[in-house]
Amino acid sequence: MIDESIFLNKTAAYYTLGCKLNFAEISDLGRQLSERGIRKARAGETADICIVNTCTVTELADKKCRQAIRRIRKEHPHSFVVATGCYAQLKPEEVAAVEGVDLVVGANQKTDILEYIAAGEKISVTPTREIEKFVPSCSEDDRTRHFLKVQDGCDYYCSYCTIPFARGKSRNGAIADLVRQAEQVAAAGGKEIVLTGVNIGDFGKTTGENFLDLVRALDTVSGIDRFRISSIEPNLLTDEIIAFVAHSKRFAPHFHIPLQSGSDAVLRLMRRRYDTAFFRAKIEKIRELLPNCFIGIDVIVGMRGETADLFQETADFLTALPFSQLHVFPYSERAGTKALDIEPIVSPQDKQLRSNRLLDLSAEKRRAFYRSQQGTTHRVLFEHAHKGNRMHGFTENYVQVEADYRSEWTNELREVTLERLNADETAFAVDGFNFSIH
């Protein structure tokens, strides 16, 4: 039993690295700690407790986490610094060795943090418990969009990936509980929910339900104007899901799909569960049913075994594909993965060149998509965050719109005709005499 009085008047600062799932989880942890009397530290205020939710998706992510911890220690010299999340789960000893860490807690043990703090644990690696529980979370308030965790873990074991080791087996919340969480978001004034998870299309493993049923149930939640499906594996994005989104008033025409390679040979090395013909058919299906849909695609460059010819196959495949944007990730060596047995290795210089080529292609596709939207009318959800006197928001099909800051527009849906693209064609401007708003 903890003496709760020790938390009174304490402050905590939260840092999160990596994916939307991490964001949802740290947000939820912040809410739980505030219920116990621990106030969120204001910007610039020194906190009593700092919690870093780490990511281990690449070697670079590990490095960024170590840097973040050291920086946080400098900014909060007398604080109790806790590292949790995927990197802490996968390599607790390595994280504990970072200068400035007081406590390392496994990914699924965040709720135990206060118990450890109360016990005065220092520089200790807590025993990593088996990851099997689904811990629900949904981010609140921090941003206009709410991130609802519907699933966790992954059973796929792609050859380059350590996420299944860090996150455990695929598991999920029950549809009835997730609908309740979405209703709570609506009651609190939330308008947009992004469904998050590690492999969300695999939803239902632990409850005997499936992703389409989840989407159908959420679609009935009144008060939420928009749902977005975050990244979904192509083999799990069924034609039924695409057709449902096409007819739904609430599910946004926006898909984010990991391709990873446009070469069948590399896809086999990666142990992915589809080939390029299947992927192309999926994208064509989306375009047929949702011509204005924003389609983001993940791709990894420089995977072991990706020769110059095989990379060229990827570049050619993507050039011919009607998508809206790429997320390009240079391949990163991860200890314990099957990919380490593959030859040849791609040099860092070649990885960089390939990455630049695809980033150029991505910018071209994005510009073309934005131009295709010129003159169309959409509902834009303007966000809380603003830079100086400018604010921004997104249309349902994920086109960015900027405007002069007006506090009454935050978290509000406004109907906007997309007229004027900014100079680099990355957003439409809505201001002064250039805007047309209803």
- Footprint of ligand SF4 (CB under 6 A): 154, 156-158, 161, 163-164, 198-199, 233
Q: State in angstroms the smallest separation of the CB of 156 from ligand SF4.
A: 4
Specify the length of the chain in residues. Answer: 438
Toward ligand SF4, which CB reaches closer, 30 or 201? 201
Q: State in angstroms the smallest separation of the CB of 153 from ligand SF4.
A: 9
Q: State in angstroms the smallest separation of the CB of 208 from ligand SF4.
A: 21
Toward ligand SF4, which CB reaches closer, 49 or 154? 154
Q: State in angstroms the smallest separation of the CB of 245 from ligand SF4.
A: 21
Give the separation between CA 28 and CA 173, rounded to whole angstroms.
Answer: 15
Q: State in angstroms the smallest separation of the CB of 271 from ligand SF4.
A: 8
Give the separation between CA 405 and CA 375, rounded to whole angstroms.
Answer: 23
Strand-pairing partners, residue 254, are 294
With beta carbons less than 8 A apart as the criterion, state whether 194 and 230 touch.
Answer: yes
Toward ligand SF4, which CB reaches closer, 164 or 305? 164
Q: State in angstroms the smallest separation of the CB of 331 from ligand SF4.
A: 12
- 248 Rama sector, left if φ>0, alpha if ψ -120 to 50, beta otherwise: beta
Contacts of 20 (CB under 8 A, 6+ apart): 147, 194, 196, 230
Q: How many CB atoms lie within 10 A of CB 176?
A: 10
Q: State in angstroms the smallest separation of the CB of 405 from ligand SF4.
A: 38
Toward ligand SF4, which CB reaches closer, 65 or 86? 86
Toward ligand SF4, which CB reaches closer, 163 or 403? 163
Toward ligand SF4, which CB reaches closer, 158 or 401? 158
Toward ligand SF4, which CB reaches closer, 139 or 261? 261
Give the separation between CA 314 and CA 378, rounded to whole angstroms.
Answer: 33
Which residue shows structure tokens 């159908």? 216
Which residue shows structure tokens 């170590």? 66
Toward ligand SF4, which CB reaches closer, 79 or 210? 210
Q: State in angstroms the smallest separation of the CB of 150 from ligand SF4.
A: 15
Rg (the chain; Cα; Å): 22
Q: State in angstroms the smallest separation of the CB of 33 from ligand SF4.
A: 28
Helix, coil or strand: residue 399: coil
For residues 283, 289, 292, 298, the Cα torsion angle rounded to the nearest 10 degrees is -20
With beta carbons less than 8 A apart as the criterion, state whether 303 and 346 touch.
Answer: yes
Contacts of 224 (CB under 8 A, 6+ apart): 182, 185, 186, 190, 191, 192, 193, 218, 250
Contacts of 39 (CB under 8 A, 6+ apart): 9, 10, 11, 12
Toward ligand SF4, which CB reaches closer, 103 or 161? 161
Distances in Å between the Cα of 377 and the Cα atoms of 184, 274, 339, 421 are: 30, 36, 46, 14
Toward ligand SF4, which CB reaches closer, 13 or 301? 301
Q: Which of 397, 390, 396 is nearest to 429 (CA)?
A: 390
Give the separation between CA 123 and CA 105, rounded to whole angstroms.
Answer: 11
Q: State in angstroms the smallest separation of the CB of 116 from ligand SF4.
A: 28
Toward ligand SF4, which CB reaches closer, 14 or 331? 331
Q: State in angstroms the smallest separation of the CB of 107 from ligand SF4.
A: 14
Q: How many CB atoms lie within 10 A of CB 387?
A: 9
